[in-house]
Amino acid sequence: MADIAPDPTPTDYPPRVSDARPDPRPTPLAPATVAVTAGRPPRVQGGPVNPAVVLSSTYVSAGVPGPGELVYARSGTETWRDLEAALGALEGSTRPALVFASGMAAIAAALALVPRGGRVVAPRHAYQVTLGLLAELASLGDLQVDLVDIADTDAVAAALVTAPDRGAAALLWVESPTNPMLEVADTPALVAAAHAAGALVVVDNTFATPLVARPLAHGADVVVHSVTKYLAGHSDVVLGAALSDDEALHTRLLDHRTVHGAIAGPWEAWLALRGLRTVALRVERAQANAAELARRLATHPCVAEVRHPSLPDDPGHERAARLMTGFGAIVAIRPVGGPAAADAVVAAVRLWLPATSLGGVESSLERRRRFSTESAGVPEDLLRLSVGIEDVEDLWADLDAALRGAGAPRRDAAD
Ligand SMILES: *Cc1c(COP(=O)(O)O)cnc(C)c1O
């Protein structure tokens, strides 16, 4: 039999089930390499290079199960294991991720860390369903919510402080860049303020991805993802993940998943890992496209405003350049002519896909306020662009034509 060297990443990362402690050695490999190599089956002669999709609701088991033993598929499956290992390694966690049925299921598990009646400080602009869940929990009396401008570090720090009219903050929720306003948070400074106030910090890292931002390295307690977006990357799967380096928090998130049952299906987990293999290439290309489109849109006669942290005069530019390794691939624009012009752009594009969601290989766009549930602070005419990996000139030609057909040109523009 041939000699086979072991994997470049620890093959036991993590051991057989998602609640077991993985090898704590920090991975020496770059994220782009980790995305390709992590979560592979062990290198054995004749063994597969990809995980199997195991369709089994139960496992052979008699007597008292040993630690980490697979017993029933709501608690743990081998099909999640490789994806969880890869996501954990990619976020630089010493523990595997926990995959959930959707990003919202992971977010619900993270919010369940708040004690009953506890106070949550959250961004006023954030994923609208996260804000909807916070509002629902607040209306039930389960928690209190204070919404803040997450880019205004002083305002966040002030909201975290206990005052006569409000109790201690239990949790700071961070999104950066925010959906859809693209505000950039100073995550390390916010973590310091939250921890000083005795609050946990959860970061929704969906927009940045672990290729662009590593919130655990900035001190965050928990990271959540909509794996649906960039991590899976092909608009063919809905899936979520939560991660924590802290054993007690990891266990609580795992227990929440087990008792609430918002678990991933085996096919979804497999598809997400398959998609994850190319995440570095996809994000790199999408970011480059986004920066180039933002640069051109900034002087477009039919565009009143562009938000993308790559633009030197964007309010988030300096912070993103300091804290992130890229600027992300979501761009927000406000066409000249208001909501009607924005709707006309969506109706006119031929290549860009009019659709919600983001982070797929295909470029898509939507007017966010078409949803009555979107935050009232988001301008009615804001178009959120999820820039994909197509040829940038094709994307530009289609968008430019749609914009020119849609509204009156800006008077002050040269073109
Ligand atoms: C889409 C999204 C979510 C929700 O994830 P689902 O997989 O759709 O449940 C959460 N946060 C952000 C930032 C998102 O874009």
What strands, in cross-sheet order, belong to the sheet with 200-204? 98-100, 240-243, 222-226, 200-204, 169-175, 118-123, 143-148
- What pLDDT score was predicted for residue 79? 87
Q: Is residue 293's pLDDT more than 90?
A: yes
Q: How far is the CA of 165 from the centre of ligand 1 (A)?
A: 33
- What pLDDT score was predicted for residue 412? 54
**Average pLDDT over every residue of 35-58:** 94
- What pLDDT score was predicted for residue 5? 72
Which two three-digit tokens encode residue 260? 């609430």
Pocket test for ligand 1, best of 226, 231, 366 (most atoms within 8 A of CB): 226
Distance, in Å, from the CA atom of 15 to the CA atom of 210, rounded to the nearest integer, reads: 22
Q: Which pLDDT band, with edges at 50, 70 and 90, does 26 fall under?
A: low
pLDDT digits (tens, 9 = 90+) for 55-113: 999 999 999 999 889 999 999 998 899 999 999 999 999 999 999 999 999 999 999 99
Share of the chain above pLDDT 90, in %: 88
Which one of 40, 82, 95, 127 is the catalytic residue? 127
Name the pTM for this structure.
Answer: 0.92
- What pLDDT score was predicted for residue 410? 60
- What pLDDT score was predicted for residue 12? 38
Distance, in Å, from the CA atom of 404 to the CA atom of 366, rounded to the nearest integer, reads: 17
Assess whether 19 carries a catalytic annotation.
no
Q: Is residue 20's pLDDT more than 60?
A: no
Q: Which pLDDT band, with edges at 50, 70 and 90, does 163 fall under?
A: confident
Which domains are present in the chain?
Answer: 17-276 (3.40.640.10), 279-406 (3.90.1150.10)
